[in-house]
């Protein structure tokens, strides 16, 4: 299983490397008014990915916090399990 995991990682890295090397063209991004920005396509794609990951993490935060709060509340209100006796007590030793 570890071999498969490492092969998948290597394949992903290799594909991303090839895509980055093949997308070296300079693109222009035109903003509001006269604002214009020229950047390599690979950096633009990397920046877009980073922004998407950041937005996803921020969007996930409220749900994660709500679930943690519910779990903590459930653990506090749970009835504690009776203390288990040792194996010696069960055997009557």
Q: With cut-offs at 50, 70 and 90, classify the pLDDT of residue 11.
A: very high
Beta carbons within 10 angstroms of residue 16's beta carbon: 14
Q: With cut-offs at 50, 70 and 90, classify the pLDDT of residue 43.
A: confident
* Nearest partner of 11 among 41, 81, 19, judged by Cα: 19
Give residue-wise pLDDT tens across range 81-93: 666 655 555 555 6
Half-sphere exposure of 56 (CA within 13 A, CB side): 6
Is residue 15's pLDDT more than 80? yes
Give residue-wise pLDDT tens across range 51-77: 999 999 999 999 999 999 999 999 888
- What lies within 8 Å, CB to CB, of 30 at 6+ separation is 36
pLDDT for res 56: 96
Report the distance separating Cα 28 and Cα 31, nearest Å: 10
Global pTM exceeds 0.85: no
pLDDT for res 34: 87
């Amino acid at each position: 299983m570890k071999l498969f995991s490492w092969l998948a990682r290597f394949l992903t890295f290799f594909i991303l490397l090839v895509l980055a090397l093949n997308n070296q063209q300079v693109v222009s991004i035109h903003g509001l008014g006269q604002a214009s920005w020229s950047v390599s396509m690979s950096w633009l794609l990397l920046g877009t990915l980073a922004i998407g990951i950041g937005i996803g993490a921020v969007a996930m935060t409220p749900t994660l916090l709500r679930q943690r709060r519910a779990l903590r509340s459930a653990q506090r209100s749970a009835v504690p399990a009776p203390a288990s006796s040792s194996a010696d007590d069960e055997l009557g030793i």
